[in-house]
Amino acid sequence: MSRAEAKERKMAAKGSLFSRYENLAPLSIFVGFILIIVVLQLATQGISKYPTFISPVNLLNIMQQVAVPGIIAVGMTLVMLSGGIDLSVGMLASLVSIVVASGITNWGLGVPGSIAAGIMTAVVLETLMGFIISRTKVEPFIITLGGMITFQGIALLVCNSREVILNGELNFFKANLIAGAKDPVTGLNLIIPPYVLIFFFIILVAGLVLTFTKYGRRIYAVGTNPHAAYLAGINVKNFKLSVYVIMGFLVGIGSVLLLSRINTGIITLGQNLEIDTIAMVVIGGTALRGGKGSMLGTLIGVFFLGSIGNAMNMLRMPSEVQFVAKGLVVIIAVSAGDVSSKVSEFVARRKEQAQARRTIAAKEV
């Protein structure tokens, strides 16, 4: 990069709020979306009624809906920050749920043993994929796509293409921690299950690791420029492997919590989970090429994508419209920051040209 280009980018960053605060673009779109939904509810229900979308019971309902995908999105953020991607998480979640449910129902492993077996299954399989990705030059997209197909086959073999039904053995994960609390707006019971707190704990720990530890800084370095990171003394291969190991651990935890909600181990349990988690991470500002993103942005993306489906259901829109809305939001959120950056660069360039003309004019005088 030349000095002129560096100077231009520096001026653009100074002049753009979106450049200085990378989470501002998705946050602005999220807030705008909430305002639109609130206005629509006020228009259809009447100004005298409180918008149910922002009622405490619905906000807690959104948290319950996004907690499990949010846990997996944390792992996806780490993978994408390092320059990778993982398309296998949906089928891996289905496989883990079937292993855990089978362990409890058919194999006599007990609840703790079955949970451990499920999490270890996810860790081992993700480690194998991470090893191949980190030791070869094959694109992660291809390896994890193959993993997705393989995990689907293994899951069907384990359960003989049948669902495995639990009898509530994992219900302790969805017990209400605030039993008896009422929503002052609707009068409905407020519910906060343990898995919501687990989600917030995991994303907090991951955010602190990325921000304040050497490991976090090295993940950014590996994702930004693996060759430069290698020359700086970072073991790039092991770092790429490590994020997939963490991904496996988080998929294992998320799968167990998802199974506790559904109470049935089935191949469709993790269907489209990889699409939702990647969308959450991308909406939150994490770059597909790696090296850019944050856990705060992922948190915004998690609640943003969860709010879309919730709002569409409240407005009684068909599922087809929800898919269109989610797709458009992803496109808009990803494009907003880039458009703002280009506009800022253009404005900075014009200012620099005007300053140059004034300097030349002053010299001629």
Domain boundaries, the chain: 66-170+192-270
State the Cα torsion 255-55-23-72 to the nearest 10°: 0
* Contact criterion met (CB below 8 Å) for 132 and 141: no
Q: What residue spans of the chain are helical by DSSP H?
A: 3-15, 17-20, 24-45, 56-81, 89-105, 110-135, 140-159, 194-212, 214-224, 226-231, 236-262, 273-283, 295-314, 319-364
- The 10s digit of each residue's pLDDT in 241-274 is 999 999 999 999 999 999 999 999 999 999 889 9
Q: Which residue has the higher pLDDT, 292 or 123?
A: 123
Farthest-apart Cα atoms in the chain, separation: 92
Burial class from Cβ neighbours inside 10 Å (0-12, 13-18, 19+) for residue 358 reads exposed
Contacts 24+ apart (CB under 8 A), 233-237: 236/134, 237/134, 237/135
Q: Whole-angstrom Cα distance, residue 350 to residue 344?
A: 10
Which 8-state DSSP code applies to residue 316? Answer: T
Closest CA to 69 of 160, 211, 242, 195: 195
Give Cα separations from 322 to 133, 222, 312 (angstroms): 34, 36, 6
Return the percentage of the chain with pLDDT > 70, whole number. Answer: 91
Mean local confidence (pLDDT), 172-179: 92
Task: Write the DSSP assignment of 333-362 as a string of letters.
Answer: HHHHHHHHHHHHHHHHHHHHHHHHHHHHHH
- Is residue 8 classed as helix, strand or coil in its secondary structure? helix
**pLDDT (0 to 100) of residue 120:** 97
Average pLDDT over the chain, rounded to whole? 88
Per-residue pLDDT band at 187 (split at 50, 70, 90)? confident
pLDDT of residue 345: 72
pLDDT, tens digit, 9 for 90 and up, residues 201-252: 999 999 999 999 999 999 999 999 999 999 999 999 999 999 999 999 999 9
Mean pLDDT for the stretch of residues 63-78? 96
pLDDT at 341: 63
pLDDT of residue 340: 64
Distance separating alpha carbons of residues 79 and 133, to the nearest angstrom: 11
The pLDDT tens digits for 281-309 are: 998 888 888 888 999 999 999 999 999 88
9: pLDDT strictly greater than 70: no
- CA dist 96 and 100 (Å) reads 6
Q: Please give the pLDDT value at position 163.
A: 93
The reported pLDDT for the residue numbered 52 is 86
- pTM as predicted: 0.87
End-to-end CA distance of the chain: 35
Highest mean pLDDT among 2-6, 84-88, 343-347: 84-88
Query: What is the band of 316 on the pLDDT scale with cuts at 50, 70, 90?
Result: confident
Q: 74 falls in which pLDDT band (50, 70, 90)?
A: very high
Span 121-148, mean pLDDT?
A: 95
Position 185 scores a pLDDT of 83
The answer to whether the CB of 281 falls within 8 A of the CB of 23 is no
**Band of residue 164 on the pLDDT scale cut at 50, 70, 90:** very high
In terms of phi and psi (left: phi > 0; alpha: psi -120 to 50; beta: otherwise), the region of 189 is: beta
CA 80 – CA 286 distance, rounded (Å): 7
Confidence category of residue 330, pLDDT binned at 50, 70, 90: confident
pLDDT band at 4 (very low <50, low <70, confident <90, very high): very low
Choose among 204, 212, 210, 213: nearest CA to 223. 210
